[in-house]
């Protein structure tokens, strides 16, 4: 080959390549003409989807106990013609629908609720009560919007099956258990999600966002959510009579010191330009006013973006707990890092996220798609990406714009996710969720 022909071909190749990247980041050209059809199917099914949402909201199940919820999701997919496998990694549901050649797209909804007594006052509020491991009476509530994720997921499955002649490829719809405990995605992967079923080329999910108005979705390219660790500290002392503290080693005082000292891990030991959180979310010790107990149990959530920061925090927690015990002549405390509940930081694939955002802008409007910085929240959806599949999770606004505006102007703050008063405004949230997820999938599979 002569040199100038070689240069010409190289040049042509790089132009095509650049063109290819740009094209990949754009929305599918057919999307605008498909959206009225999506709307038609959504309108037809809306009342039923709302009922399904309210049913799921009123009947929440805790992590690893999603028996009825998963059965309902499996039934929904079967009715639509998916080949459904249940009990994948616990109560996981996998539905596969093959529809000609093309990429495989996975759509994930998480199914578990939280140990929270609901105080929304909604007519469809959860009244479910269960006993926890210690026999205490606790409420169960979908306080993280997973019920909304499931309703949007079923709605999207209905839209896509009715519009089957407009796209080509394979759908893998999964209902994932135990997201709140960080173990569900791992369990499904270990039970062969990517080997027993078609391995996805792309994986999509949405998550409710109480700080974003309904009708709006938020996207984050790249690093989006934090490393999350759960740590227990069992502070040990020597109990006795409350009137004679000198004859005891008081674990409550030691625990109080530990709570305050732990804060220095973030404020004094972490580079101010790095992100870290150490929260003591639960502390229990003692039974009565005048008894010094033998031990105090603490439960922590520990968050970071960088692996090095994560390791420093985990080592620091142990060091501080041991030092406080030693200073008080107490036995060595137990520090337990729950490796099985670790959730790795979530990184949205940049190209898939840009392409999805382009599609969402096209169908929802420029103003209804916003970019948001990363958050210290965690999501084990990250694991589907770490296992080698480009992932994109976008956030679905759930709050009334008026209420957000009032809060921004000094009014009553809006409840955060996991709060006992959090709830999505159903109709606009559900409709936007189904439109957005249907558009995101069609963007990858449309003919
Ligand atoms: Zn949650
Ligand atoms: Zn969640």
The lowest-confidence range among 100-114, 130-144, 225-239 is 130-144
Q: What CA–CA distance (Å, rounded) separates 173 from 158?
A: 12
Which residue is catalytic, options 61, 66, 110, 112? 112
pLDDT surpasses 60 at 3: no
Count the neighbouring beta carbons within 10 Å of the beta carbon of residue 277.
Answer: 16
Q: Which ligand is nearest to the CA of 145?
A: 2
Q: What are the residue ranges of CATH 3.30.70.360 in the chain? A: 227-341
pLDDT tens, residue by residue, 15-34 = 444 444 454 568 899 999 99
Mean pLDDT across 37-47: 98
Q: Which ligand is nearest to the CA of 143?
A: 1
> What average pLDDT does the structure give for the chain?
94
Mean pLDDT across 261-276: 97
Has 341 been annotated as catalytic? no
Tell me the C-alpha to C-alpha distance, in Å, between residue 165 and each of 99, 100, 447.
9, 10, 9
**What confidence score (pLDDT) does residue 25 get?**
67
Tokens of 188: 């499904």
Q: How far is the CA of 225 from the centre of ligand 2 (A)?
A: 12
CA angle 65, 71, 75 (to 5 degrees): 165
For residue 189, give the nearest of 110, 92, 124, 122 by alpha carbon: 92
Count the neighbouring beta carbons within 10 Å of the beta carbon of residue 123.
Answer: 7
Burial class of residue 351 (count of CB atoms within 10 Å of its CB; 0-12, 13-18, 19+): middle
Burial class of residue 344 (count of CB atoms within 10 Å of its CB; 0-12, 13-18, 19+): buried
Q: How far is the CA of 397 from the centre of ligand 2 (A)?
A: 13
Q: How far is the CA of 207 from the centre of ligand 1 (A)?
A: 9
- Statement: 29-226+345-445 belongs to CATH 3.90.320.10: no
Q: What CA–CA distance (Å, rounded) separates 203 from 114?
A: 25
Q: What are the residue ranges of CATH 3.40.630.10 in the chain? A: 29-226+345-445
Tell me the C-alpha to C-alpha distance, in Å, between residue 222 and each of 87, 304, 351, 375, 382.
32, 15, 9, 12, 11
CA atoms lying within 13 Å on the CB side of residue 197: 30
Q: Which ligand is nearest to the CA of 147?
A: 2
**What confidence score (pLDDT) does residue 24 get?**
53
Q: How far is the CA of 36 from the centre of ligand 2 (A)?
A: 30
Q: Which ligand is nearest to the CA of 417?
A: 1
At residue 436, the 3 state secondary structure works out as helix
The CA-based diameter of the chain, rounded to the nearest angstrom, is 97
Has 162 been annotated as catalytic? no
**What confidence score (pLDDT) does residue 132 get?**
81
Which residue is catalytic, options 61, 66, 110, 179? 179
At residue 109, the 3 state secondary structure works out as strand
Q: How far is the CA of 292 from the centre of ligand 2 (A)?
A: 38
Which spans in 96-211 are helix H?
Answer: 146-162, 184-190
Cβ atoms of residues 347 and 223 within 8 Å:
yes
The counts of H helices and E strands in the chain are 11, 18
Q: What percent of the chain has pLDDT over 70?
A: 94
Q: How far is the CA of 446 from the centre of ligand 1 (A)?
A: 32
CB-based contacts of 409: which residues, under 8 Å, 6+ apart? none
Burial class of residue 238 (count of CB atoms within 10 Å of its CB; 0-12, 13-18, 19+): middle
pLDDT tens, residue by residue, 115-141 = 999 999 999 999 999 988 788 889 999
Per the listing, tokens 């929260």 go with 279
Q: What percent of the chain has pLDDT over 90?
A: 91
Cβ atoms of residues 86 and 72 within 8 Å:
no
For residue 90, give the nearest of 108, 72, 75, 112 by alpha carbon: 112
Q: How far is the CA of 398 from the centre of ligand 1 (A)?
A: 14
Q: How far is the CA of 417 from the centre of ligand 1 (A)?
A: 7
Tokens of 133: 């491991």
Q: Which ligand is nearest to the CA of 114?
A: 1
Q: What CA–CA distance (Å, rounded) separates 392 from 280?
A: 31
Q: How far is the CA of 45 from the centre of ligand 1 (A)?
A: 27
pLDDT tens, residue by residue, 43-88 = 999 999 999 999 999 999 999 999 999 999 999 999 999 999 999 9
pLDDT tens, residue by residue, 335-385 = 999 998 899 999 999 999 999 999 999 999 999 999 999 999 999 999 999
pLDDT tens, residue by residue, 289-306 = 999 999 999 999 999 999
The CATH class for the domain spanning 227-341 reads: alpha beta
Tokens of 380: 């084990």
Tokens of 381: 């959806």
């Amino acid at each position: 080959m002569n040199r100038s022909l070689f240069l010409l071909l190289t040049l042509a190749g790089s132009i095509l390549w650049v063109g290819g990247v740009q094209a990949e980041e754009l929305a599918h050209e057919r999307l605008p003409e498909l959206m009225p059809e999506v709307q038609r199917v959504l309108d037809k099914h809306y009342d039923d989807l709302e009922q399904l949402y309210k049913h799921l909201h009123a009947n929440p199940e805790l992590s690893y106990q999603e028996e009825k919820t998963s059965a309902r999701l499996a039934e929904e997919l079967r009715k639509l013609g998916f080949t459904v496998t249940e009990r994948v990694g616990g109560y996981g549901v996998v539905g596969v629908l093959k529809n000609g050649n093309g990429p495989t797209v996975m759509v994930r909804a998480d199914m578990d609720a939280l140990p929270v007594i609901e105080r929304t006052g909604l007519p469809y509020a959860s009244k479910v009560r269960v006993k926890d491991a210690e026999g205490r009476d606790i409420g169960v509530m979908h306080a993280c919007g997973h019920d909304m994720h499931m309703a949007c997921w079923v709605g999207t499955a209905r839209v896509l099956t009715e519009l089957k002649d407009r796209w080509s490829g394979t759908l893998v719809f999964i209902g994932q258990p135990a997201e709140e405990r960080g173990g569900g995605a791992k369990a499904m992967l270990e039970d062969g999600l990517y080997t027993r079923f078609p391995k996805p080329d792309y994986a999509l999910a949405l998550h409710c966002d109480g700080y974003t108005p309904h009708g709006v979705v938020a996207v984050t390219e790249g690093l989006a959510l934090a490393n999350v660790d759960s740590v227990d500290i069992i502070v040990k002392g020597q109990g006795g009579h409350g009137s004679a503290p000198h004859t005891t080693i008081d674990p409550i005082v030691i625990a109080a010191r530990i709570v305050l000292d732990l804060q220095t891990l973030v404020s004094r030991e972490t580079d101010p330009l790095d992100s870290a959180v150490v929260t003591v979310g639960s502390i229990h010790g003692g039974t009565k006013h005048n008894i010094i107990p033998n031990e105090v149990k603490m439960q922590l959530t520990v968050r970071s973006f960088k692996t090095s920061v994560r390791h420093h925090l985990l080592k620091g927690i142990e060091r501080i707990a041991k030092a406080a015990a030693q200073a008080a002549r107490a036995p060595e405390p137990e520090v337990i890092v729950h490796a099985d509940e670790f959730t790795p930081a979530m990184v949205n694939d940049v190209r898939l996220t840009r392409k999805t955002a382009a599609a969402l802008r096209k169908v929802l409007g420029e103003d209804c798609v916003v970019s948001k910085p990363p958050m210290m929240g965690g999501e084990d959806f990250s694991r589907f990406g770490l296992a080698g599949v480009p992932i994109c999770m976008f956030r679905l606004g759930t709050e009334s714009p008026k209420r957000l505006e009032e809060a921004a102007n000094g009014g009553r703050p809006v409840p955060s996710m996991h709060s006992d008063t959090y709830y999505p405004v159903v109709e606009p949230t559900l409709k936007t969720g189904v439109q957005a997820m249907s558009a995101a999938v069609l963007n990858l599979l449309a003919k």
